[in-house]
């Protein structure tokens, strides 16, 4: 009788251990899936932030060419240069809080190409519109998300339209 009780007790312990192993493996599996999903959602959100910064730049009427109060879709080269000089001037911080709030820790550059000379399709003009790279930036501490698009740039001095590559790099502290 005592032997049967010991066998039943051993079987009960084995069943409890098996149930425990199954439950723990299920919890580990669920945790890995949810962690992967959370990281994917976080990276998608950061990529969307880069696009939001592009939308902000694209909606700045002071960068676009305008005639008689009508704002066109093309960027004005002279306005881009003026905006770049304005954001580089660290002595005069007045009025830059809104730009810094909208663009945050990012770098916005425009490379302008002369599309009439296809054989040498190199940028003839590089311009940094905004640069707020984190002071402690390194690839280990920050993720760098980018958004790139082609834009039309009007050079009113030369009376021509060029192609510009607008690049936005957003720095996000790693979690």
Q: What is the pLDDT of residues 43-53, one digit of tens each?
A: 788 778 888 88
Confidence band for 16, pLDDT divided at 50, 70 and 90: very high
Q: Report, as an integer, the average pLDDT of 49-63.
A: 85
Within 8 A by CB and 6+ apart from 25, the residues are none
Per the CB < 8 A criterion, the answer to whether 145 and 44 are in contact is no
Q: Report, as an integer, the average pLDDT of 62-81.
A: 78
pLDDT of residue 74: 84
Quote the DSSP letter at residue 52.
H
Nearest to 53 by CA among 102, 111, 105: 102
Confidence band for 117, pLDDT divided at 50, 70 and 90: low
Q: Report helix, strand or coil for 136.
A: coil
Domain boundaries, the chain: 32-173
- Mean pLDDT of the chain, nearest integer: 82
For the whole model, what pTM was predicted? 0.69
């Amino acid at each position: 009788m005592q032997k049967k009780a010991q066998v039943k007790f051993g079987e009960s312990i084995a069943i409890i251990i098996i149930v425990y192993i199954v439950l723990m493996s299920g919890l580990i599996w669920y945790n890995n899936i949810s962690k992967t999903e959370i990281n994917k959602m976080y990276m998608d959100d950061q990529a969307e932030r880069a696009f939001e910064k592009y939308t902000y730049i694209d909606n700045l009427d002071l960068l676009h060419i305008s005639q008689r109060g009508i704002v066109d879709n093309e960027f004005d080269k002279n306005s881009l240069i003026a905006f770049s000089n304005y954001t580089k001037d660290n002595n005069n911080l007045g009025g830059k809080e809104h730009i810094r709030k909208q663009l945050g820790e990012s770098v916005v550059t425009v490379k302008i190409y002369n599309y009439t000379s296809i054989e040498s399709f190199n940028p003839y003009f590089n311009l940094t519109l905004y640069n707020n790279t984190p002071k402690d930036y390194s690839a280990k501490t920050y993720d760098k998300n980018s958004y790139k698009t082609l834009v039309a740039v009007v050079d009113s001095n030369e009376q021509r339209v060029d192609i510009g590559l607008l690049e936005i790099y957003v720095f996000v502290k790693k979690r």
